[in-house]
Amino acid sequence: MTAPAPGGRRWLLALVVAGSVHLLTTSGNWAILDHGEILYTARHLLHHGTFDLAPAGVPRLKFMPTVAARPGYPVRSRFLPIPTLTLIPLLFVDERLGWADDRAFGHVVHLQGHAFVLAGLALLGLAVRRSGGGDSAAAAAVLLGGLAWPVWLVSRRVGPEPVLIFLVCAYMLGEATPSTRGSRIVRTAVCLLLPWTHVTGPHMSVALLLASALRIASRAGPLQGRWRELVPMAAATFVGTATMVYFWNHLLHGNWLRGGYAITDPAQAFGVHAMLPGVLDHLTALALLMPITLPLALLGWRRAGRGAAEAFWPTAVSVTVVVILVFATFFSPEPPRRLAVACPAWAGIVGATWERLRLRTPLAQAAIALQGICGFAWFIQADGGWGGPGPGGLNLPQYVLWADLLRAGQPWWTFAVPLAALLLILILSSGKAWALLRSEDAPRLDRAADTL
């Protein structure tokens, strides 16, 4: 593993750019019934301290028609507890501020996605630095990862996906760090927590375990002793999955295999679509959603060989393969939301191989700007919903907090002041990030590459 390249913390400017972009398009509400159910459960847990949403005999909740009970069991949410637990402190703040309404559940609570995605991108930048990249490499990885539409999308929503991104980025930081006690603890903790985060968590833990095995096998030198690194991760994967199956699936929901999803018919969820077309759909979506990041990752991987990208390519490939195989036959695959967890890993490959890409000014800036434009175009097409009427016939986007406040006739300063502040922050931070990409490592690394 190479030592971190000399540099400072200027790559943190990329976090400011990505964060301000996400907040400029923040939804301030929940978009799908799954997330409404998670919010409902979190509020009930905050007030009553139990996952029982209604006693046995109640067929389903009045305001949550998707939450149904099994005969003889109380009404309980299908979703695993970690995302729900992360929402409780935010709901508490909303209630203390008087913002806890029945429809949106508040305002602060909708920052959960932004907070976990931004924290995950911070870990991604640290991982690139630890892998030997400079400030410009870390900034490029953060921007390419944060401006990819799948990551941008889930940052605007509460739920498990932002938490999954954070955990996978924490794992990447552990992989980028030389094998020490601390890095092994981080990777082990991620494998332990993933099964309690999402129904795909056990699959994701196995994917990360496979990624570590691939990374070990790809490194030069004798393999003797290296496989011991996998033992704590494998143990954590088993313990996390076994405890989840016993306590959550069996004891709480009365079904060893499907847990809270026992109320659904698996024949109506998986196996609905043919596997091969589903795989092709996801691969096509991956290329369309990351039209700049994916080619740069593949080019950097080819130019740098296994050395520079060894910390990240196993993660990118393993996580992507698992996500596609799990959801290829699903009745509602939603590739952008599902593939979000894999995007930072592909951006990490770009960061780790940034020096070999040799993108001179303004190619580096243009690549990142194009990825941002593509992400914004997907936002307008998929989630922006242009067409909502506003005062004076203004054509306002839907599912954006600032437009909702204007449409609702709120005082102008409630949306104009934060919107202006975010725009100013975005402009200033983008200018500094542009200069960082222009001035940091490119000249020195170009000369170094020429001598190879």
Amino acid present at 248? W
Distance of CA 249 to the CA centre of its chain: 25
C-alpha dist (Å) from residue 297 to 10, 195, 393, 450: 23, 29, 44, 21
Q: Residue 440: what pLDDT?
A: 46
SS3 (DSSP) at 267: helix
Structure tokens at 410: 């709120």
138 vs 197: CA distance, rounded Å: 27
**Does residue 134 contact residue 10 with C-beta atoms inside 8 Å?**
no
The ranges assigned to domains in the chain are 12-28+110-363, 33-106
Determine the length of the chain: 452
Q: Residue 349: what pLDDT?
A: 94
Q: What is the dihedral of CA 401, 403, 404, 405, to 10 degrees?
A: 90
Q: Residue 30: what pLDDT?
A: 82
Non-local CB neighbours of 450 within 8 Å, separated by 6+ positions: none
99 vs 97: CA distance, rounded Å: 6
Q: Which of 87, 104, 127, 137 is nearest to 1 (CA)?
A: 127
Amino acid present at 268? Q
C-alpha dist (Å) from residue 136 to 49, 68, 352: 47, 50, 11
143 vs 139: CA distance, rounded Å: 6
Q: Residue 394: what pLDDT?
A: 62
| Phi, psi angles (nearest 5°) of residue 52 | -75, 110
- For 10-138, strand residue ranges (E) read 52-54, 75-76
Q: Is 49 exposed, middle or buried (0-12, 13-18, 19+ CB in 10 A)?
A: exposed
| Phi, psi angles (nearest 5°) of residue 388 | -75, 125
203 vs 320: CA distance, rounded Å: 11
Q: Which of 289, 276, 193, 298 is nearest to 241 (CA)?
A: 193
42 vs 252: CA distance, rounded Å: 16
Structure tokens at 337: 């939301």
Amino acid present at 249? N
Non-local CB neighbours of 359 within 8 Å, separated by 6+ positions: 367, 442
Amino acid present at 84? T
SS3 (DSSP) at 395: strand
CB count in 10 Å sphere of residue 106: 24
Amino acid present at 190? V
Non-local CB neighbours of 415 within 8 Å, separated by 6+ positions: 401, 402, 405, 406
Q: Which of 287, 303, 342 is nearest to 124 (CA)?
A: 342
Q: Give the residue ranges of the chain where pLDDT is below 50.
A: 1, 440-452
Q: Residue 220: what pLDDT?
A: 56
349 vs 128: CA distance, rounded Å: 8
135 vs 4: CA distance, rounded Å: 10
